[in-house]
Amino acid sequence: MKVLFALFCLTYACQGMGLTADLATHAVRIDTDFTGEDMVVFGTLTKKGDIIIVVRGPEETLTIRKKESIHGLWLNHDALTVHEVPRYYAMACTKPLDSILSQEERTRHEIGLQNLHLTWSTPDAELQKTYTHALIHEKIKQNRYIPTCGLINFVSTNLFRITFQLPATVPTGAYTVQVFVVQEGQITDARTIPFIITKAGSSADLSEFATHNGFAYGLLSALCSLFLGLIISQFFIRFRV
Amino acid sequence: MQIYLPIAGMPVDVLVLIILGLVTGSISGLFGVGGGFLLTPFLLFMGIPPAIAVGSQTAQLIGSSISGVMTYWKKRAVDIHMSLVLFAGSAVGTFIGLLFFSHLKKIGQIDFAIAASYILVLGSLSLIMLFESIQTLRREKSAIPYPLTKAPKWVRRLPFQVLFPHSSIRASVLMPLGIGFIAGFLVVIMGIGGGFVIVPALNYLLRMPPHFIPGTSLLQIVFATFLVTILQATLNHTVDFVLAFYLILGSAVGVQIGARYGYDLRGPLARLFLSLLVLSVSLRLVFELTHTPPSLYSLERKVDKS
């Protein structure tokens, strides 16, 4: 009995060991010389299958406004509010998405820009579709959503790795990297690895100060601006005339 | 050299900021206006979020305007009493402007309000200024020199007449109070210095000697933008000091260059250039409002303090 039990545990543990994954760094620090950062995801897959990786940023609530031509002028008219919008979204896969995963599975796991679970302020499905399309379009323009799936490289038989290039304007907050294993059109295994992007160093201090002590920050900024202008002008007036 | 702007949340090239400041500062020193109407569009073009462009701009204006004031001060061409009365008006205008601004933001019409204010107020002012300056330049030889040209009758009839000793004008305090009010209102709504309203008003309505106008206007801008910077930072957290810092490095120097020539620039000629500049921006805005925008949809974050 004990032997059987041990064998059972071993097999169960081995199944879980099919996939391992991790990130090169779990904390991205934005300092004064930040111009973007590479996020490296790597791992091993010992069984046969494909991998899909999704990087998601923190969620936000947005108001989407639509312009309309009113008496010849283009003005904001209709608006909708949408919740649970990821601030960043990027994907990587070993093969094109639609060739390895069914639409049903993609919808279930929110894989792919068209399959995000968003909460809208209106029940109208047509409106939701139009606005979702506009939302994704704008986010792609802002470099926040990456429309193409990056290609995952298998460095050796079991070791894979992919680099996501986080842009300079990447939003701060708690991010997740989801690694999915796809076998025969189904998701059979997954890992979720968190990482965080924060402002660090003087950027962070200044940001903190500005947010929590708005008045003091404002007064100080105004005074510093005043003195800076004064000093520069005095330099010119006294030494050049 | 790139530097990351903490409040704006993006890196920018320091050199670009300094050069931008230099150019707009020169215009500021020449005419006595803030230069914001040129700087803000450029900042937006660089990708800086509009609210932060406007907020940081007001901080920048403090530095560049005080630089200009110092040059005119040295030549004793600043009417400090007038500036103070103007500021009394603009302080009130600022508060009313802030109320308007929050309401407009809530209903999503702030962009339109900014464009409309620009076109209506600055557009019409610059048109008037354009015709007047051309007329004056034509009649230059036979024109009556200052200070014998008088202010319009209705202005002269206003109560509370006071003598402003520096620039030797006798005028009602109601005039600069009212002008200041409009200017203060525009500082908040448009993120400009308000000089555009003040310079023509000092010229046409109060008949202030031309070499006093830029310096007096710039001093008022210093007061008004100091107030608005504090308000913007406290209420909206939209002031990025790092951005303002590098802009001031350029503009405070630019203003010195501009002010050097501004003192000698003949009144009508300065007004001609200024009006053409503002008019071209107004026309551009009209074009943008009436033609199909490149993007029908805009995204706006519901800001939570995180």
Q: How far apart are CA B123 and CA A102, in angstroms?
A: 58
By three-state DSSP, how is residue B148 classified?
Answer: coil
Q: Greatest CA separation found in chain B?
A: 66
Q: How far apart are CA A58 and CA A190, in angstroms?
A: 20
Compute the Cα dihedral for B115, B116, B121, B123 and give only its sign: positive
* Single-letter residue type at B264: D
Q: How far apart are CA A229 and CA B75, in angstroms?
A: 18
Task: Tell me which of B57, B60, B62 to substitute to probe the interface with A (most A C-beta atoms closer than 10 Å).
Answer: B62
pLDDT tens digits, residue range A55-72? 999 999 999 999 988 888
Q: Rounded to an integer, what is the distance from CA A178 to the centroid of its chain?
A: 11
Residue A87 has pLDDT above 60, yes or no: yes
Task: Tell me which of B119, B241, B303 to substitute to probe the interface with A (most A C-beta atoms closer than 10 Å).
Answer: B241
Cβ neighbours for A137, distance < 8 A, ≥ 6 positions apart: B297
Which chain B residues touch A35 with a CB distance below 8 Å? 2, 4, 11
Q: Are B275 and B126 in contact (CB under 8 A)?
A: yes
Residue B142: per-residue pLDDT = 58
Query: Chain B contact for A151, CB < 8 A?
Result: no
Residue A194: per-residue pLDDT = 95
Nearest CA among B209, B188, B248 for reference residue B28? B248
Q: What angle do helix axes B267-290 and B36-45 make, rounded to 10 degrees?
A: 40
Query: Chain B contact for A108, CB < 8 A?
Result: no
Scan residues 269-298 of B and list those with Cβ closer than 8 Å to A: 289-293, 295-298
Helical H segments across chain B, by residue range: 14-31, 36-45, 50-74, 80-106, 110-117, 124-138, 153-156, 174-190, 195-200, 213-235, 241-262, 267-290
pTM (2 d.p.): 0.80
Residue B15: per-residue pLDDT = 94
Q: Are A202 and A68 in contact (CB under 8 A)?
A: no
Question: Which phi and psi (to 5°) does residue B298 adopt?
Answer: -130, 145
Residue B284 has pLDDT above 60, yes or no: yes
pLDDT tens digits, residue range A128-170? 999 999 999 999 998 899 999 999 988 888 899 999 999 988 9
Q: Are B259 and B29 in contact (CB under 8 A)?
A: yes
Q: Are B174 and B159 in contact (CB under 8 A)?
A: yes
Residue B120: per-residue pLDDT = 86
Q: How confident is the model at residue A17 (pLDDT cuts 50, 70, 90)?
A: low
Q: Are B297 and A66 in contact (CB under 8 A)?
A: yes
Q: How confident is the model at residue B164 (pLDDT cuts 50, 70, 90)?
A: confident
**B146-156: burial string, b at 16+ Cβ within 10 Å, e else:** eeeeebeeebe
Q: Greatest CA separation found in chain A?
A: 99
Residue B222: per-residue pLDDT = 93
Q: Residue A69: is it exposed, middle or buried by C-beta count within 10 angstroms (0-12/13-18/19+)?
A: middle
Q: ipTM score here?
A: 0.85
Q: How far is A95 from chain B (nearest CA, A)?
A: 33
Of A143-147, B34-38, B98-102, B248-252, least confident by mean pLDDT is B34-38
Residue A13: per-residue pLDDT = 52
pLDDT tens digits, residue range B191-244? 788 888 888 888 888 888 888 888 899 999 999 999 999 998 998 888 999 999
What is the rounded average pLDDT of the residues B148-165?
Answer: 75
Q: Rounded to an integer, what is the distance from CA A163 to the centroid of its chain?
A: 14
Binary contact (B239, A221; C-beta < 8 A) = yes
What is the rounded average pLDDT of the residues B270-291?
Answer: 84
Give the residue, B30 or A105, on which the prediction is more confident. A105
Residue B306: per-residue pLDDT = 38
Neighbours of A213 (CB within 10 A): 14
Q: How far apart are CA A92 and CA B72, in angstroms?
A: 61
